[in-house]
A = this chain, B = another copy of it.
Amino acid sequence: MVGRELLHFLEKSRLPVGELRPFSSGSAGKTVPFRGRALQAPPVDKKTLYGCGLVFFVSSDEISIQHSPGLAARGVLVIDDSSAFRLDPKVPLVIPEVNGHVLRRRLRLIAGPNCTMTPLAVAGIALHRAVGVTEVRLATYQSVSGAGRAALEEFFRQVRGHGRLAVKGRAPVLHSSIPHQALPKPIAYNVIPQVGGFDQRGCSGEESKVASELRKVWDAPTLRVSVTAVRVPVVRGHSMSAWLTLRRPISPAAARKLLAKTPGLKLSADGDYPTPLLVGGKGPVYAGRIRQGATPRELCLWLSYDNLIKGAALNSVQIAEELLKKGWL
């Protein structure tokens, strides 16, 4: 899913793409579109890979672990959207608008963060710099496309499996045994509070990633983060409700002024808010419903954004563009 978006943004980017060599983990004979042509996308091939100047990984941790260090050692620039190296202290984890300053000329391996963490880091950085964020609580509403192609196909199959729904007397009680495989429970007309496996503390993989990656990108090692990551029956577009505890209180009006100037963020008019259907296919992070939380030192906000774009593909392209701008590509 993210690979297709990456090609889309590479076409629109000012990056000087001479030759594009797509690889695919899928079936043989697969093609992908680029600049009006259908390019063969064979399984990854080490020799071709080592001949590239810049490699984007939008694949599994395993593929990245297998190839990234060797490529970087040979001078190939790698921008990795997998989670394999994100927490490696030698690898910068980069969102250009937030911490582009950590990029260095000689770096050959650069990681892009988790698609749920990125928009929160973008939206909260101005507040963090101005008044200090000490605690973050986050409930997510994550679309099915974030779980990949098989999950999205399963979702559409389940919608068809429930048939043509109608209200006759009581609200219909849907059968809960509809088949599922790609996701841990059926997703059509349901929500699933599990994204990844659970650790011993009861946190899912997604929840742990958001916490540790946010600490790294914001350079805030003592930040306390609690996340409930939930899959919802949406095609594109993650959303979240975020509570930020601040070192110094700030009014919602003053927070709105900071957010209005934040790069990469679009703020809804007062009283309005973004939803996944609005943000599908678009690049920015959208924010709304800025208000006081449970205490005067807490702000509450709502975010929606296209998870395949700023959450993943666009961020990788923006890292390369930032390097180009600095003359390091």
Contacts and interface: CB of A to CB of B under 8 A. Distances in A.
Interface of A: 1, 4-5, 8, 32-33, 135-137, 139, 141, 145, 149, 152-153, 156, 159-160, 164-167, 169-174, 176, 178, 185-186, 189-194, 198, 201-203, 224-226, 228, 230, 232-236, 239, 241, 243, 252, 270-271, 273, 275-278, 280-281, 288-295, 298, 300, 302, 308
Contact of A278 (B176, B224, B236, B293): B176
Contacts of A280: 173-174, 176
Contacts of A273: 193-194
A76 B131 CA distance: 57
Contact of A166 (B156, B176, B194, B270): B156
Contacts of A33: 169
Given A149-B167, A170-B4, A201-B292, A141 B226 contact: no
The number of times this chain is found in the oligomer is: 2
A159 B156 contact: no
B141 A202 contact: no
Contacts of A203: 291
Contacts of A192: 275
Contacts of A160: 164
B202 A291 contact: yes
A32 to B, nearest CB: 8
Most buried by B among A152, A167, A276, A291: A167
B171 A235 contact: yes
A165 B235 contact: yes
B234 A302 contact: no
Given A159-B159, A176-B277, A289 B201 contact: no
B294 A226 contact: yes
Given A8-B170, A176-B278, A189-B276, A141 B290 contact: no
Contact of A271 (B153, B176, B198, B235): B198
Contacts of A271: 198, 202
